[in-house]
Amino acid sequence: MSVRRDRRERMQHQREELRRLRQRMRQRGHELRRMGSRGQPEESRAAILHAAAIEFSEQGIAGARTDAIARQARVNKALLYYYFHDKEALYGAVLDDAFGRMRAAIFHALDSDLPAREKILAYVGTYFDFIASNQIYPKLMQREMMRARAGDSQHIERLVKNYFEPIYRRVSELLHQGIKEGTFRKVDPAHFVPSMIAMIVFYFSGAPVMRRVFGFDPLTQERIRERRAAVLDFISAALFRPCAGAGSGVHP
Amino acid sequence: MSVRRDRRERMQHQREELRRLRQRMRQRGHELRRMGSRGQPEESRAAILHAAAIEFSEQGIAGARTDAIARQARVNKALLYYYFHDKEALYGAVLDDAFGRMRAAIFHALDSDLPAREKILAYVGTYFDFIASNQIYPKLMQREMMRARAGDSQHIERLVKNYFEPIYRRVSELLHQGIKEGTFRKVDPAHFVPSMIAMIVFYFSGAPVMRRVFGFDPLTQERIRERRAAVLDFISAALFRPCAGAGSGVHP
DNA sequence: ATGATCTAACTAACTGGTTAATTAATCATG
DNA sequence: CATGATTAATTAACCAGTTAGTTAGATCAT
């Protein structure tokens, strides 16, 4: 009995708080479309997506709890199902959002008008920076890559078609171009591209373990800058024709 | 009713089959320790461990189903709890088994009496071969690395102490030695070692996606041999002093 | 008979998903 | 311009299926 009343009181209290919140927002001039009781459809959707991205990246689809996502998004669980049909679809939306941003960043670098040598460094650098400032992505990516088995993931096909394949094609072409020009060593894109991605992605997804192995945090600004240089150096050394140019243009 | 009888009949049939199996084994002279109803404690344990390794590597701890593990091991689910206290402990046992074998293989290479240049190639080659012939390990490893957050995984500390740290220390020393000798470029082990591991591990854990991107299976014997060469080439090019020796000793 | 090995059947808790109701902005109409 | 219908947004409470883990034995070499 008293529990029930407590709950109801809390509920009512929450309602009032929301009303005040809404008024403040209106005063601040937030654009208001059609409104529900809370009146923030876009904000709610975004909050769910953001909370879901974190939860999925940390726990995986199976480990992620829809309750936890809802709580983090400060939204009722049923709202997840209102906006995104089910858990799997929500996961799909998170992936599309993530890889969409990634593709945009990478294509920006690949569209630049640079010689092969500089362009591949721009690609690696951009990719690195993107991952570094969005550290849930490498986990999301590796989790999904590992799930791509038999009939497991319904998303892979789409992700490959929309994101991975187009990016791979462009980078592959770039490598061939550099090889033909004589700037690059004769490498096989089907091996070199995964190697580059591996070096960028693995460092961040493996950071928690590395912290314990090394005895220091590999994710400080300083260390990340260091890593960036190391990756570019590694790739330069492995890709560029040896004994040709002098400096490798590593330092951004 | 009929369902119940069917089940009982099947059960009885299974029992008889087991008895016959056991007799055959005794005739073949299998060493028999103390026996229970099935009389194969080691075999059962091993079967559970093996099934669990596969299930965990494919689904992760959260996604893994104990029922599925028991079914795969052809053993009753309760037996998992008889031998391994709970799901988490079973997972821990799988990890220890896996990383224990890995450490043994790698240490064998590192203990060899070779010059730095050849030894680092032996290390990479051995590691690669181990992963290539035990493709559940990279997934197990990456899954566990990603789990190493806050208070999440109870295993990381042990794994780092028993496996990762010792291996890292040895390889790190090897690199320093090569650098001092002048055989290697001046690389930072804290970046170079993860890069090597990344290239080896990522290829296998990412294979299902790459199959779709490339349009061919990256896990055929042929492709794996190719990959091996590519990794050794990549690392050689990035690590060895340029313009010094002639061949890189890549082909095993 | 005794203890190691093994199992069918069960349970308690969890979790994805549903439902019926509520709120408030907007729209239609007299 | 008031007001009742409509609709988007949102929630509390609930449900049904799943799953980790338990129990009360059964089997059998010694």
Query: CA–C1' span, A52 to D16, in Å?
Result: 25
Å separating the CA of residue A7 from the C1' of nucleotide C20:
19
Per DSSP (E only), the strands in chain A are none
Banded model confidence at residue B233, pLDDT cuts 50, 70, 90: very high
Question: What average pLDDT does range A172-201 have in this prediction?
Answer: 96
Mean pLDDT of A173-191: 96
Chain region(s) in chain A for CATH 1.10.10.60 = 38-84
Nearest-CB residue to B146 (from A164, A194, A205): A205
CATH class label, B40-84: mainly alpha
Residue B242 tokens read as 């340029």
Q: How many CB atoms lie within 10 A of CB B195?
A: 26
**What is the predicted pLDDT for the residue at B147?**
83
| B164, B194, B209: residue with CB nearest A202 | B194
Fold designation for B95-242:
Tetracycline Repressor; domain 2 (1.10.357)
Q: Taking residues A215-243, what's their average pLDDT?
A: 93
Residue A7, min C-alpha distance to chain B (Å):
32
**Residue A131, both tokens:** 């991952």
Q: Tell me which range, A18-32, B5-19, B34-48, B103-117, is most confidently predicted by mean pLDDT.
A: B103-117
Residues forming CATH 1.10.357.10 domain(s) in chain B: 95-242
A185 chain-B contacts, CB cut-off 8 A: 237
Q: Are the CB atoms for A140 and A146 separated by under 8 Å?
A: no
Give the up-direction half-sphere exposure of residue B106: CA atoms within 13 A in the CB hemisphere: 21
In angstroms, how far is C25 C1' from A14 CA?
A: 20
CATH ID of A95-244, from 3.40.1480.10, 3.40.718.10, 3.40.50.2300, 1.10.357.10:
1.10.357.10
Residue B18 has pLDDT above 50, yes or no: no
Q: Do B213 and A160 touch (CB under 8 A)?
A: yes
**Residue A71 beta carbon within 7 A of nucleic strand D:** no
Q: A237 touching B, CB under 8 A?
A: yes
Range with the poorest average pLDDT among A181-195, B71-85, B202-216: B71-85
Of B202, B213, B237, the CB nearest to A237: B237
How far is the CA of B149 from the CAs of A11, A132, A211, in angstroms? 34, 17, 11
Helix (H) or strand (E) holding A116, with range, is helix A116-132
Q: Count of alpha carbons within 13 Å of A251, Cβ hemisphere only?
A: 1
Contact list in A for residue B194 (CB cut-off 8 A) is 199, 202-203, 206, 210
At A209, is the pLDDT very low, low, confident or very high (cuts 50, 70, 90)? very high
Q: What count of other Cβ atoms lies within 10 Å of the Cβ of residue B9?
A: 10
Decide if domain A38-84 falls under CATH 1.10.10.60.
Answer: yes
Task: Please give the pLDDT value at position B134.
Answer: 94
Say if B226 is an interface residue toward chain A (CB within 8 Å): yes
pLDDT digits (tens, 9 = 90+) for A117-135: 999 999 999 999 999 999 9
The answer to whether A127 and A133 have CB atoms below 8 angstroms apart is no
Cross-strand pairs, A184: A240
The neighbour count for residue B193, using CB atoms within 10 Å, is 20
The predicted pLDDT at position A82 comes to 92
| pLDDT tens by residue, B60-97 | 999 999 999 999 888 889 889 999 999 999 999 999 99
